[in-house]
Amino acid sequence: MTVKETDELSGTETTGHEWDGIKELNSPLPRWWLWTFYATVVFAIGYSLYYPAIPLIKGATAGISGYSSRAEVAKDIAMAAEAQSGIIERTRNSTIDQIATDDELRRFAVSAGKSAFKVYCVQCHGSGAQGAPGYPNLNDDEWIWGGDLETIHISISHGIRNDQDDDARLSEMPAFGVDELLERSEIAAAANYVLKLSGQEHDAALLGEGETVFADNCAACHGEAGKGDREQGAPDLTDAIWLYGSTPELILTQINRPKHGVMPPWLERLGDVTVKQLAVYVHGLGGGEDSEPE
């Protein structure tokens, strides 16, 4: 049995515990501490009622607020999607020129166009749109069909020489060799003339014949001066940019048995919005030209 007694010095009751003559005073807890403690108890009860708190087998009690962090995230996602759909809707309702001149739409188009390009275009045009033999570089100023927004948009929408799209760009360089449209010597003279046009080493003795062959058979598409014709997708032959190659052999091959580059159509497959974004992206790569004044 412990005996409670009052400590003489402090006048406080002891707990009755005694260790080697030392006794413990039974001092009450400070008021402020006690009230804070009660307040936290009340808060905890309120909190547990208001928010999901008590674990159940599946999930937890819902709490009267109905709050759920998962629902919060879902709401955020829905809001982001709505914000995006707003800009997608505006892209859909804008012409490419409007997209290209609106800061926000253009920035969105360039980043969306860039990701679409990575998925659908790099296997032919290269990861930096730098092109490869047979596939044009899209960064430079040379355009086979044209480099303003509208023209690029048409090239991408319908493609080139494919049989899936009735509006695909068409034009075929004749196979002067395999179809025996020209003699071998005429073909050699024409190839030599192309070397001269592009400022490369050539045989001066063949130039006269080459010029005639060119004027009669090639100028209709490539132009009298060999500068090309975008209406027909006939490349400029006077510069250092080549689709198939600059060497005498490759030029001879192209005249004998021309390759007809094919590009798939994208409008139906990717939809209006993505194709517009691709056009704005490609136009912004470096070689984009201003639209022709109407």
What residues line the site for ligand HEC (CB under 6 A)? 117, 120-121, 123-125, 134-136, 138, 143-146, 152, 155-156, 160, 171, 173-174, 176, 190, 194, 217-218, 220-222, 232-235, 237, 242-245, 251, 254-255, 259-264, 266, 278, 282
Contact assessment for residue 193 and residue 162, using Cβ atoms and an 8 Å cutoff: no
In contact, 2 and 17? CB cutoff 8 Å: yes
Angstrom distance (rounded) from CA 149 to CA 163:
24
Smallest separation, CB 61 to ligand HEC (Å): 53
Widest Cα–Cα separation across the chain? 134
* Closer residue to ligand HEC, CB minimum distance, 14 or 274: 274
In the complex, the smallest distance separating the C-beta of residue 222 from ligand HEC, rounded to whole angstroms, is 5
* CA distances, 159 to each of 191, 244, 286 (Å): 29, 19, 21
Check the CA dihedral 193-196-201-204 and report its sign: positive
What minimum distance in Å lies between the beta carbon of 225 and ligand HEC?
13
Report in angstroms how near the CB of residue 228 gets to ligand HEC at its nearest. 8
Asked if residue 265 lies in contact with residue 157, where contact means CB atoms within 8 angstroms, the answer is yes
Tell me whether residue 91 or residue 155 sits nearer to ligand HEC (CB atom): 155
Nearer CB in complex with ligand HEC: 202/222 = 222
Tell me, rounded to whole angstroms, the distance of Cα 69 from its chain centroid. Answer: 32
As measured in angstroms, the least distance from the Cβ of 195 to ligand HEC is 10
Name which of 52 and 261 has its Cβ closer to ligand HEC: 261
